[in-house]
Amino acid sequence: MTREMLTPQCHDAPGDSGGMGLGFGVGYRGHPGQFRHTGGNEGFESYLFMDADSGWGIALMGNSDSFHLIYPHIAETIARAKNWQYPAKKISLQETLPLVEARLGTDAALATYDQARAADSAESKSSAALNGLGYHLLTQNKVEDAIKVFQRNTALHPEDANTFDSLGEAFMKAGKKELAISNYERSLKLNPDNGNARAQLKKLRP
């Protein structure tokens, strides 16, 4: 590997030392010598992180489509134990909820969300965190749990067209056609430009 490969060809932002090199993300969080690459396919994800200046590195592989949610934190833990300098990344609520669900279940993830709301977390005021959890559950084929999460989201964000679109998708996957239609209609009413809701209604209506 040459130094040119680790020279940013496209910067993350004007004046930023980091960006994309030749095949690698370089200058991780203000550290020019650090570079990384991720990869995977269905059911498998991997993470490579190296420090060209100090000579350490780590390669992680996981047999899960959700491995990307935890590999930065595995790397952080190992780096701390080895006294490597690995800039910590704050874990977001949207990342936290699927991790809690995977370990402790959907109810525990919802309780974690409720704690964030009680603490007046800025992230909890958006529909994004619960929507992400719902789709995480759908990818795991936990459809009824996904419905529970999406229903909570629609109750908390009744003016958000996307929450009803997501609930409609979950009901459609569960084979509950009338409930799917009802939620897609609600989404379209809130956002007449929602092309996905319109397309799904054409499929669902007789």
Q: Which domains does the chain have, with CATH numbers?
A: 3-82 (no CATH), 93-204 (1.25.40.10)
Specify the pLDDT at position 14: 65
pLDDT tens over the chain, length 206 residues: 556 666 766 766 666 666 666 667 777 666 777 888 888 888 889 988 888 878 888 899 988 777 887 787 888 888 888 888 877 677 889 989 998 998 899 999 999 999 999 998 888 889 999 999 999 999 999 999 999 999 999 999 999 999 999 999 999 999 999 999 999 999 999 999 999 999 999 999 87
pLDDT at position 76: 84
pLDDT for residue 196: 95
pLDDT of residue 72: 79
3-state secondary structure (DSSP) of residue 59: strand
Global pTM exceeds 0.75: no
How much is the pLDDT for 155? 97
Q: What is the DSSP string of 1-58?
A: --GGGGS-SEESSTT-S-EE-SSSEEEETTEEEEEEEEEEETTEEEEEEEETTTTEEE
Q: What number of residues does the chain have? A: 206
